[in-house]
């Protein structure tokens, strides 16, 4: 899988999730919709498995959050909807098919993890009649394949209760190379291409992360505002520090704003570590969403 596909998959695990639902079989109601993978075999090592379910969105859905569950070694379980339906079944995910999929929400690892949820009656929109697809990412560090059974529950709102729909804005640095057995820092910049009213921000790194910082800077590089400055912990991989802004007083980021992102790692292995084994990104929700998810191009200058 390419860098872009892996980035989108890992990002989706941080999409809105709330600690509700128990995963006991399929369900459909005004408040939640549950579907799963069924039992399948996880091979040794890294694996991304795509499941085309027999579940379709029964109407236009307003998704305010999700919960999910995986077996041991689960990194994330993600719900998508497909632009064009495909036969029910599962296989190793390919780059080609990811262009047919639209992210809805996900959960990271054990049931109930990934504690993001939209507030102030904000939601993500899923069109009616769309096939649901699940992607299960596992890192099986044992010497044997294992049997698992993953699930996702989407938390729903009534459309008339939705204040506005959101989309995401991301600053993703995938150009770093962390030397073996070394501490390393990488800094990149991007310029915001449109006005944004943001209701949620977070940083994302993996287990080798030591510090994450996101700042608004001027043209000379002087810091004007710090949005995140987190001493990283391994648990932050699936439970990152999140800053929420109320919809009545969002974080306004004008077009032309320059963002600086700095990540520090400590590589304790004998190998060079690159994306996506490690990551350095920030994730934001902005509203009102017009269907445009934005990935800001990061550069060293």
Residues of the chain with pLDDT below 70 are: 1-28, 108-116
* pLDDT of res. 104: 86
Phi-psi region of 16 (alpha: psi -120 to 50; beta: other; left: phi over 0): beta
Bridge-based pairing state of the strands 258-267 and 209-217: antiparallel
Query: CA nearest 199: which of 259, 289, 281, 80?
Result: 289
Per-residue model confidence (pLDDT) at position 254: 97
| pLDDT for residue 115 | 46
> 3-163: what fold?
Jelly Rolls (2.60.120)
The CATH number of the structural domain formed by 166-297 is: 2.60.120.230
pLDDT at 21: 34
Residue-level pLDDT at 116: 61
Decide whether 3-163 matches 166-297 in CATH topology.
Answer: yes
What is the pLDDT, as a whole number, of residue 281? Answer: 94
Predicted confidence at residue 114, as pLDDT, reads 47
Q: Among residues 135, 134, 193, which one has the least CA distance to residue 169? A: 193
The predicted pLDDT at position 113 comes to: 44
Domain ranges (residues) in the chain = 3-163, 166-297
pTM of the predicted structure, to 2 decimals: 0.80
């Amino acid at each position: 899988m390419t860098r872009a596909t892996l980035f989108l998959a890992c990002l989706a695990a941080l999409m809105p999730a709330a600690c509700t639902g128990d995963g006991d079989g399929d369900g459909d109601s005004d408040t939640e919709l549950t579907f799963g993978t069924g039992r399948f075999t996880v091979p040794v090592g890294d694996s991304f498995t795509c499941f085309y379910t027999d579940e379709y969105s029964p109407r236009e859905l307003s998704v305010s959050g999700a919960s999910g569950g995986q077996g041991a070694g689960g990194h994330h379980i993600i719900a998508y909807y497909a632009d064009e339906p495909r036969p029910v079944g599962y296989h190793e995910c390919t780059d080609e098919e990811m262009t047919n999929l639209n992210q809805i929400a996900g959960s990271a690892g054990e049931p109930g993890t990934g504690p993001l949820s939209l507030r102030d009656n904000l939601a993500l929109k899923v069109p009616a009649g769309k096939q649901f697809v699940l992607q299960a990412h596992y890192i099986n560090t044992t010497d044997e394949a294992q049997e698992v059974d993953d699930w996702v529950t989407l938390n729903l709102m009534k459309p008339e209760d939705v204040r506005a729909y959101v989309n995401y804005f991301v600053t993703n640095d995938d150009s770093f190379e962390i030397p073996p057995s070394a501490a390393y820092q990488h800094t990149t910049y991007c310029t915001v291409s449109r006005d944004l009213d943001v209701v949620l921000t977070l940083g994302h790194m993996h287990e080798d992360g030591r510090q994450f910082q996101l700042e608004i800077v001027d043209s000379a590089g002087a810091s004007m505002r710090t949005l995140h400055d987190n001493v990283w912990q391994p648990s932050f991989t699936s439970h990152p520090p999140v800053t929420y802004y109320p919809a009545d007083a969002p974080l306004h980021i004008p077009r032309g704003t320059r963002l600086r992102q700095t990540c520090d790692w400590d590589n304790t292995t004998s190998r060079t570590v690159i994306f996506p084994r490690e990551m350095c990104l920030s994730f934001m929700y902005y509203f009102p969403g017009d269907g445009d998810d934005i990935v800001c191009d990061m550069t060293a200058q």
